[in-house]
A and B are shown apart, each in its own frame.
Chain A
């Protein structure tokens, strides 16, 4: 009994210590330096491998999610005789929720796991220790450009996801189901507010971008430098990042809608 209590306490303390390490890790790597502190060339390379390379999965997923929303929305709305509100439904769903959240989940799977594996392998092959030996701070040199890259790439990806999704919904609604084109775009424009919907969605994806990249690089940096440890860290990245995104999404939505 006492043993179990001790184990529970130790597990709790370890979690707390890990959280503290993650916090000092973030401050140490990003600090208050701004994206310029990452070094221009490294930042470009990271935006390329994190953002540009994720483009295909984001665009294809966005188009299909939009198409499904168009189809589902049409079926529900036509029961109430208000198919004309399809554009409103698709665009608000994407801008407020699905755009930021789906992008963050896909991003965690596509870019987050790659980041963890890359940094974990750097640690296992002692590249990070070698940098320290040479007097180069691995936090600044390796971690900072990656966090800034994710922070910059995520909102762009989320915007593109929503935009492609709205086109997907328009394609299904207008071309296949025969919703009036003017009603689709007109009702959308009448009810979507630039600040309340577009900008607030963008703020969400900025937060998700920071959190997912932070978790990914931290898991890699903190991993046990064996092949088993790296595989565990990669799994951990996807699990922790996805759950954090979903949990944070509720908190952010509650703050933004001001209902709670």
Chain B
């Protein structure tokens, strides 16, 4: 009876550890159960990312519809190439959709905001968003402001 209790409680202890690890994965670090088959990839070229990172959100009207999966520099045109995964459930993004790098709050993290256009055709796997707007970089803004002040 005594050893039975001992083994049961140790078993429960180890099961608790496994459950805690799974909870950490799902609830805390937010690894979603969605498989790779449920998204499609599109690209966008930006002149300046201004602190956008991988795994950043891609949202439309404030609703998250995907994630940034890769950031590279195009060494021919010297622009940033951002690859993002969009959920399959949102497969009606028009080809003239525009992308902008926005900031959540004043000090928050950068994310990509998509605004839908009016075209008839939809973006497919591997398509490129043409109409993009770079991140606002404070130094550049101040520079432009001072420059225009000096001209007056």
Pick from B12-20, B71-79, B93-101, B127-135 the stretch touching chain A: B12-20
A163 vs B106: C-alpha distance when bound (angstroms): 30
- Let me know if B17 and A48 touch, CB within 8 A: no
B31 lies within 8 A of chain A by Cβ = yes
- Let me know if A48 and B10 touch, CB within 8 A: yes
Q: Scoring A residues 46 to 84 as 1 if CB is less than 8 Å from chain B, else 0, what string do you get?
A: 011001100100000000000000000000000011101
- Let me know if B30 and A190 touch, CB within 8 A: yes
User: Considering the complex of A and B, which 7 residue pairs feature the smallest CB-CB distances, nearest first?
Assistant: A189-B30, A156-B17, A159-B20, A194-B29, A192-B29, A198-B24, A163-B20
- Let me know if B6 and A197 touch, CB within 8 A: no
Q: Assign chain A's interface to a size class.
A: 20 to 34
Which residue of A41, A55, A82, A197 is within 8 Å of B29 (Cβ)? A197
- Let me know if B27 and A194 touch, CB within 8 A: no
A202 vs B25: C-alpha distance when bound (angstroms): 13
Residues of chain A within 8 A of B3, CB atoms compared? 41
Q: Which residue on B lies nearest to A47, using beta carbons?
A: B10
B41 lies within 8 A of chain A by Cβ = no
Interface residues of B in 16-59 (CB under 8 A from A): 16-17, 20-21, 23-25, 27-31, 55, 57
Residues of chain A within 8 A of B146, CB atoms compared? none
Given known pairs A156-B16, A159-B20, A159-B24, the reply for A194 and B57 (CB within 8 Å) is: no
27 A-B contacts (beta carbon < 8 Å): A41-B3, A44-B7, A44-B10, A47-B13, A51-B10, A52-B10, A82-B105, A82-B108, A84-B105, A91-B28, A152-B14, A153-B13, A159-B17, A160-B16, A162-B24, A163-B20, A188-B30, A189-B29, A190-B55, A192-B28, A193-B29, A194-B31, A197-B29, A198-B21, A198-B25, A198-B28, A202-B21
Interface residues of A in 126-178 (CB under 8 A from B): 152-153, 155-156, 159-160, 162-163, 166
Q: What secondary structure prevails in chain B residues at the interface with A? A: helix
- Let me know if A48 and B9 touch, CB within 8 A: yes
B125 lies within 8 A of chain A by Cβ = no
- Let me know if A166 and B28 touch, CB within 8 A: yes
Q: What secondary structure prevails in chain A residues at the interface with B? A: helix
A25 lies within 8 A of chain B by Cβ = no
B141 lies within 8 A of chain A by Cβ = no
B90 lies within 8 A of chain A by Cβ = no
Which residue of A52, A82, A190 is within 8 Å of B9 (Cβ)? A52
Nearest Cβ on chain A to B102's Cβ, whole angstroms? 15
Residues of chain B within 8 A of A45, CB atoms compared? 6
Nearest Cβ on chain A to B56's Cβ, whole angstroms? 8
A48 vs B4: C-alpha distance when bound (angstroms): 12
Q: Assign chain B's interface to a size class.
A: 20 to 34
A190 vs B57: C-alpha distance when bound (angstroms): 8
Nearest Cβ on chain A to B22's Cβ, whole angstroms? 10
Residues of chain B within 8 A of A191, CB atoms compared? 109
- Let me know if A192 and B30 touch, CB within 8 A: yes
Which residue of A84, A156, A188, A193 is within 8 Å of B14 (Cβ)? A156
Given known pairs A82-B105, A156-B17, the reply for A194 and B9 (CB within 8 Å) is: no
- Let me know if A190 and B109 touch, CB within 8 A: yes
A197 vs B9: C-alpha distance when bound (angstroms): 29
Given known pairs A156-B17, A189-B29, the reply for A194 and B109 (CB within 8 Å) is: no
Residues of chain B within 8 A of A202, CB atoms compared? 21
